[in-house]
Every structure is written in C-alpha cells, then in structure tokens.
Structure 1
Amino acid sequence: MAKGYWIAHGRVDDPEAYDLYRAANAAPLAEYGGRFLVRGGARELVEGDAKPRTVVIEFPDYDAALSCYRSPAYQAAIELRRGISESDLVICEGWTAPEGH
C-alpha cells in the first residue's frame, strides 16, 4: 500500500505563537502515524514560487494522511495557527514502484 504525504510550504509570522500550534499538532500526528521527513532547514527554490518554509510529513497510507487532517484534534490545532502563519498544503498518495523495477 502506498504511503500518504503532507507537503506544505508556509510562512510563520509569529514564531512564539506558532509553538502552540506545534505542541497541539503533535498528538494527532502521532495518532495517525505521521513522521516528519522535512521540517524547515536549508533549501533552494530552483523553479516556480513557494513560501519560505517546507515541511513533508509521511503517513502509513493516504487514508491516514487524510484522516489526520480531518480529525477534530488537528482541526483544533489549525485554529492556533490562523492569523500567525500562512501555508499551502497538499495531501498526496506516494508512488509504489511495480515489482521488478
């Protein structure tokens, strides 16, 4: 089964207040098996446009990624970041290579 991913590009305008969001999102991410693969760090934008921060979170499968986002706990966490950050988020299904490739 293919894994699920959250891929986000964001901007944080109030880092101290954003820490409350980070604390609140920890429980739903853990509950649905979310694991950070990219969480800020160095990057170089080589094509197109993107906000200054990139985050990639891996989930056991696509349904878990969607369920986490839609969960009441994560929706409550989102409220903590409204007005202090801006983000574009895509939830997508990973690719699994066919056998023999």
Structure 2
Amino acid sequence: MTAYALAHLHTPNLHEDVLVYLERIQATLDPFGGTFLAHGPDVEVREGEWPGTVVLLEFPDKDAVRAWYDSPAYQEILPLRTNHIAGSAILFDGVRPGHDPAKMAAAIRATQQG
C-alpha cells in the first residue's frame, strides 16, 4: 500500500542550510522510491489555521517511508532543515484500492453497538 510523509512547515525560512538540504534531499529519496507530490505550495486554508506550507512525499509502502526517514543519509541532512524551520512531520499509509468510506462508517457503527 502506498505510504506518505507529510511535513507541515510553520516557518519557511530560506537559510543557506535549507538550500543545502534542498540540494541534497532527492538523493536520499531515490533509493527508497520516494517522490515529491507537493513541495512548498501556497495553501488555501478552508478550515482552521495552517501557518506556513506543506511538503508531501509518496513512497511505495510504509516500510520504504520509514527506511528513508531513518536512513543515515536523510538523518545527516535533517538538521539543516529542522534547525531553521519549525514544523511537524508525519508518516502514514494511504488507502487501499476501492476504499469505501460508507463501509468504514458501518464497521465503526458495528463496533460501537457491541
């Protein structure tokens, strides 16, 4: 199942270290099949608050995204970003083919009625 890494970058700041991080990140993604789906776009907030911007990466599966994040190559460059940009990062699975939210609701209801 496809998996993702999402970073919510609260304080985008183009410090020299961040530019080096940007120059080096693709080489850390390639061995794990990681690709950018979104990288710092302007966001249109429709609900709540969303300071900053977003980065969304796609990987073949959860093992690949975990292996990338924990890899020595990525861990080496990570402080170049985190020392200058406040934010949060999460790793998560996508949905399986044929995902049906109505069936999901029914399954949740069934567990609540037990």
Asked if Structure 1 and Structure 2 have the same fold, meaning a TM-score greater than 0.5 normalized by the shorter chain, the answer is: yes
Q: Number of matched residues?
A: 98
State the 4+ residue runs in structure 1 displaced beyond 3 angstroms: none
State the 1:15 CA deviation.
4.1
- Choose between structure 1 and 2: higher strand proportion: 1
Corresponding position: 1:24 with 2:16:
no
Residues 42 and 53 of structure 2 are in contact (CA less than 8 Å); yes or no, is this contact kept in structure 1? no
The CA distance in 2 between the partners of 1:80 and 1:25, in whole Å, is 11
List alignment gaps of at least 5 residues for structure 1.
Answer: none
2:5 is aligned with what amino acid? W
Partner of 2:58: 58
TM (normalized to structure 2)? Answer: 0.76
SS in 1 for 2:86: strand
Unaligned regions of 5+ residues in structure 2, if any? Answer: 100-114
Q: State the TM-score, normalized to the length of structure 1.
A: 0.85
Q: Which has the larger radius of gyration?
A: 2
Question: Over the residues paired in the alignment, what is the CA RMSD in angstroms?
Answer: 1.7
Q: Which has the larger share of helix? A: 2
Report 1 or 2 for greater relative contact order, CA contacts < 8 Å, sequence distance ≥ 6. Answer: 1
Q: CA 1:97–1:69 in 2, change beyond 3 Å: closer, same or farther?
A: same
1:35 aligns with 2:35: yes
